[in-house]
């Protein structure tokens, strides 16, 4: 991989990871997806939250199609599993990840964004799954993660018809939790990541690792797992300190937005 194709910038408790291959619209070749994995795997322990963004006019144009042409079925399977492993480090790595989206968020770029925990999109953002029209299928975990954001019906429509969602419709459909004016996604993502970094680490751990599992469990098992996680979280000294601070008037109240 060209080391210039990805940047890591540690800003206090927040790591900013930037795809930096703008001439190819941040298309993800094997080297770059492996570099994404390595960066998340090796984040310093001082980091409490991360921001993922892309240099240039687009967040990410997806899989680097120039690497696709020579692969047979076995290599295709291994390639997809390699993406799964890499994006698992984004979703289940050390810290919550906020994606700062703009321009194209397409194909594998949308799969990468879907592995993040919060998505902030600016008004230039558009979402598509051109795999359908390229004669291929998603391979980076998209068929698992994307329906959890927007539903199976919308994803089916996108892949069958090539439908492109603009930023506004995309936010309504559930791709992004925040929509901001053009050029402001990184700023907003940094603000959110610094806020996330202030949480008790066990709370962030529960949200990353317990919540998605509980959401997939039958209700009875989910309630039980929730009770276990709640008991573990509230027994941590940091939780007790934070609750005491509120009761003694030293912590912020919840304010109407």
Position among 7, 24, 163, 242 found at the interface with ligand 1HE (CB under 6 A): 24
**Nearer to ligand 1HE among residue 106 and residue 186 (C-beta):** 106
Tokens linked to 61: 């144009």
Determine how β-strand 97-101 pairs with β-strand 49-54. Answer: parallel
Q: Any contact of residue 161 with ligand 1HE (CB under 6 A)?
A: no
Annotation says 67 is catalytic: no
Q: How many CB atoms lie under 10 A from the CB of residue 76?
A: 14
Residue written as token pair 């770059």: 32
Single out the residue of 54, 62, 93, 170 in contact with ligand 1HE (rule: CB under 6 A).
62
> How is the beta sheet containing 97-101 ordered, strand by strand?
6-11, 14-19, 49-54, 97-101, 118-122, 178-180
Query: Residue 51: CB partners within 8 Å, gap ≥ 6?
Result: 14, 15, 16, 17, 97, 98, 99, 100, 186, 189, 190, 193
Q: Which is nearer to ligand 1HE, 54 or 96 (CB)?
A: 54
Q: Does 1 bind ligand 1HE (CB under 6 A)?
A: no
Task: Establish if 83 lies at the interface with ligand 1HE (CB under 6 A).
Answer: yes
Under rule CB under 6 A, residue 148 binds ligand 1HE: no
131 is catalytic: yes
* Residue 27 interacts with ligand 1HE (CB under 6 A): yes or no: yes
Q: How many other β-carbons are positioned within 10 Å of the β-carbon of residue 163?
A: 15
Give the residue, chosen from 19, 32, 39, 106, that forms a contact with ligand 1HE under the rule CB under 6 A: 106
CB 97 within 8 A of CB 116: yes
Give the residues lining the site for ligand 1HE (CB under 6 A).
24-25, 27, 58, 61-66, 83, 104, 106-108, 130-131, 134, 136, 138-140
Enumerate the active-site residues: 111, 131
């Amino acid at each position: 991989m060209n080391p210039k194709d990805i940047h890591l910038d540690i800003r206090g408790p927040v790591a900013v990871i930037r795809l930096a291959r703008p001439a190819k619209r941040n298309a993800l070749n094997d080297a770059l997806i492996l570099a994404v994995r390595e960066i998340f795997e090796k984040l310093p322990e001082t980091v409490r939250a991360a921001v993922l963004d892309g240099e240039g006019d687009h967040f990410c144009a997806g899989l680097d199609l120039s690497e696709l042409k020579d692969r047979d079925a076995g290599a295709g399977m291994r390639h997809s599993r390699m993406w799964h492993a890499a994006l698992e480090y984004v979703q289940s790595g050390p810290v919550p990840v906020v994606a700062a989206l703009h321009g194209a968020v397409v194909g594998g770029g949308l799969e990468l964004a879907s592995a993040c925990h919060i998505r902030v999109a600016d008004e230039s953002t558009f979402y598509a799954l051109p795999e359908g029209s390229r004669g291929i299928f998603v391979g980076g975990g998209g068929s698992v993660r994307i329906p959890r954001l927007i539903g199976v019906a919308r994803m089916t429509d996108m892949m069958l018809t090539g439908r492109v969602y603009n930023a506004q419709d995309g936010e309504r459909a559930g791709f992004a939790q925040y929509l901001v004016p053009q050029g402001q996604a990184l700023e907003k993502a940094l603000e959110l990541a610094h806020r996330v970094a202030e949480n008790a680490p066990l709370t962030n751990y529960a949200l990353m690792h317990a919540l998605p599992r509980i959401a997939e469990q039958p209700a009875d098992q989910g309630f039980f797992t929730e009770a276990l996680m709640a008991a573990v979280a509230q027994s941590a000294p940091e939780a007790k300190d934070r609750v005491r601070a509120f009761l003694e008037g030293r912590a912020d109240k919840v304010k109407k937005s």
